[in-house]
Structure formats: structure tokens, C-alpha cells
Amino acid sequence: MHQKHKWVVVGDETERIARIVSGDKRAFDELVRHYYGLVYSLAHKLLSDDDDAREIAQDTFVKVHCALDGFRGEASLKTWIMRIAMRLSLTRRRDRSRSTWHRLGLHGSETATHAATPAHQTPEGEYISREVRAHVRAQIDDLPESLRQVLILNSFEDLSYEEIAQILDLPIGTVSSRLHAARKKLLHQFEKSDLL
């Protein structure tokens, strides 16, 4: 059953939005500093390119600035911004003609803002190392787009099911089932390749 979550904007988010809409440049700079790392990291995971990730981050905040006066607080500000970044990144992926090797940035780049794996180990995260990283990246790249998206957002961006549901406009149950399917496929591939 599709549950819509109405998350209310509270506290300093409300004040910051009001200041930005009224033309306060400092407030917008604060918002950019606060969320830039998350936006860049997500774009980098999806695009596997520093320049593309920086461009997507810039485009995201331009879009945020232009659309902020229409933000109604139906999702958290973070989720709303990440949704914009996700859509821009996916559009960039579709529009560019690069090899499958570059379609997913899970190579543990030193320039990435966030670590490639969260503190808690997930089935796919346990096997990412220098020796198997290229193989893992190729396996994840071969996943259907719908499975790859939820896997990146949960296991590599460490977002909650609720945040992923908001970003992708999916029921939480669908997020859960897609994550389960993605991990099952990966583990099956790892077993076949003797990486386990």
C-alpha cells in the first residue's frame, strides 16, 4: 500500500527558507554548504565523474534557489534537494554516451565526500575492497535501473527507507523489496564468481 508521508518543515529550515526567498544570500550560502556534500556524493555515485558531479551539484542548487518559494514542506528539505539531484543525475546519465564502466561511481574515489560504505556493513558493502572493487562495480552496473537506484541510496548514501521512498516517490514496501532483490542478485553473482 502506497503511504504518502507528509513531513513538516520545522525550526531553522523554515527560517532559512524564508530568508532565502526574501533574498538573503548568506542564508542560501549556508544551505549550499550544509547540503553540498550529500548532493555531490550522490551525483558522483551515479555518474562516476568528478566534473559531472560538480556540475550536477551546481545545477541542483540553481534549481533549488529558483524553486524554493514553491517548497511546501511535504517532504524534508534534505529529501527534496536529494530528489532534485537524483533526477538531474539520471537525466545526465541518459543523455551522455559513455561506456558501462563509467555509468556508476563505486570506485572509492579519494575525492568522494562520503565513504563508499556506511559504518554498518551490508551484504554488498562487505565485499568492496581494492581487489574486487571493479568486479563489484560491474555487477552493480548490470542491475536493472530500479534496483541500482535504491541500492545506491541506501547502502552507499546511507539514506533511510523513508527518505528513499520520498526521493523516488515509491511506497516504502517497494523500496524494501527492491533492496532485497538487488542484494539477492548481487550475492548470487558473487557466489558464481567465487568471491565469497
Inside any domain, residue 3:
no
pLDDT of residue 132: 59
Residue 28 belongs to domain with CATH number: 1.10.1740.10
pLDDT tens column, 51-75 = 999 999 999 999 998 888 888 777 7
Residue 23 φ then ψ, to 5°: 100, 15
Look at residue 89 and tell me whether its pLDDT is greater than 60. Answer: yes
> Which residue range forms the structural domain that includes residue 97?
12-192
Give the C-alpha separation, 171 to 176, whole Å: 9
pTM of the model: 0.60
Domain presence at residue 153:
yes
**Predicted local confidence at residue 189, as pLDDT:** 77
Is residue 107 assigned to a domain? yes
Question: What pLDDT is recorded for position 121?
Answer: 52
- At 131-171, the pLDDT tens digits run 556 677 778 878 898 998 898 888 777 788 888 888 888 99
- Count structural domains, the chain: 1
Q: Is residue 142 part of a domain?
A: yes
Quick check: 7 pLDDT over 60? no
